[in-house]
């Protein structure tokens, strides 16, 4: 019996930000290198968000305020996923597990009044480890007071979903809210196929 629902933020509830921005300034190979080094270092708290933007702006040849503004402009909230989370909340312990510098994601949550949707929020830079590391999943499960075998993990990154499944969570690769509705029973929302 599933009792918890763990949801990624970027790429699920919110649009991806770093990959889109990096793709604007760098080749795919270079963008991946920067994501794996500078962005990852900020995600796990090895460098501050401020240092990350200093380095990214320098590499892109733009000002820090412009880089920060462009990241903010990439933010789009998926209202259908928000509706799903609201419908799921009475049935599941809903938590968020995200790889991000804390100020960036916490700022988005605050501005869009989303923090209250979750019983627990775990941000990689705050715990100094990121998905797909086992400790990231263990931390959100602990915060939710549940175990892996009783929890869904929804993430747009198949690597992160596979890591969650490896510790016993039910992994769902996110492509759309319809995928989630197919996999996670939630009263109050029609499941795909109900009207077909």
Q: What is the pLDDT of residues 12-71, one digit of tens each?
A: 999 999 999 999 999 999 999 999 999 999 999 999 999 999 999 999 999 999 999 999
Residue 135 placed within a domain: yes
Residue 173 placed within a domain: yes
CATH assignment of the domain containing 110: 3.40.50.1000
Q: Are 123 and 107 in contact (CB under 8 A)?
A: no
- pTM of the complete model: 0.92
pLDDT of 196 over the 90 cut: no
Q: Are 98 and 174 in a shared domain?
A: yes
Q: Are 97 and 8 in contact (CB under 8 A)?
A: yes
Q: Are 125 and 179 in a shared domain?
A: yes
Residue 191 placed within a domain: no
Residue 194 placed within a domain: no
Q: Are 65 and 114 in a shared domain?
A: no
Q: Which of 73, 90, 120 is at the close of a domain? A: 73
Q: How sure is the predictor about 194, in pLDDT bands with cuts at 50, 70 and 90?
A: very low
Q: Are 84 and 116 in a shared domain?
A: yes
Residue 142 placed within a domain: yes
- The number of domains in the chain is 2
Q: Are 137 and 148 in contact (CB under 8 A)?
A: yes
Q: How sure is the predictor about 185, in pLDDT bands with cuts at 50, 70 and 90?
A: confident
pLDDT of 171 over the 90 cut: yes
3-state SS assignment for residue 146: coil
Residue 193 placed within a domain: no
pLDDT of 190 over the 60 cut: no
* Helix, strand, coil percentages for the chain (3-state, nearest 5): 55, 15, 35
Work out the percent of the chain whose per-residue pLDDT is above 70. Answer: 95
**For residues 78-105, average pLDDT:** 97
Q: Are 63 and 80 in a shared domain?
A: no
Q: Are 33 and 106 in a shared domain?
A: no
Q: Are 60 and 94 in a shared domain?
A: no
Beta strands in the chain (DSSP E): 4-7, 93-98, 120-123, 151-155, 170-173
Q: What is the pLDDT of residue 1?
A: 83
| Residues of the domain holding 158 | 4-14+76-183
Q: Are 131 and 155 in contact (CB under 8 A)?
A: yes
Q: Are 124 and 96 in a shared domain?
A: yes
Q: Are 97 and 10 in a shared domain?
A: yes
5 contacts: CB under 8 Å, gap ≥ 6: 88, 92, 93, 94, 95, 151, 152, 154, 184
Q: What is the pLDDT of residue 189?
A: 55
Q: Are 173 and 91 in a shared domain?
A: yes
């Amino acid at each position: 019996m599933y009792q918890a629902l763990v949801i990624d933020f970027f790429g699920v509830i919110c649009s991806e930000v770093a990959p889109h921005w990096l793709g604007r300034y760098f080749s795919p190979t270079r963008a991946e290198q920067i994501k794996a080094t500078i962005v990852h270092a900020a995600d796990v708290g090895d460098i501050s968000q401020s240092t990350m933007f200093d380095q990214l702006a320098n590499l892109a040849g733009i000002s820090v305020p412009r880089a920060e503004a462009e990241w903010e402009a990439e933010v789009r909230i998926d209202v259908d996923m928000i509706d799903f989370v609201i419908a799921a909340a009475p049935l599941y312990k809903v938590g968020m597990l995200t790889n991000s510098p804390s100020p960036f994601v916490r700022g988005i949550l605050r501005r869009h009044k989303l923090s209250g949707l979750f019983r627990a929020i775990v941000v990689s830079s705050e715990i100094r480890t990121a998905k797909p590391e086992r400790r990231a999943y263990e931390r959100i499960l602990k915060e939710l007071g549940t175990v892996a075998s009783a929890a869904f993990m929804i993430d747009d990154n198949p690597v992160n979903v596979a890591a969650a499944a490896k510790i016993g969570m039910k992994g769902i690769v996110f492509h759309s809210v319809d995928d989630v509705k197919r996999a996670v029973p939630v009263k109050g929302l029609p499941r795909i196929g109900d009207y077909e």
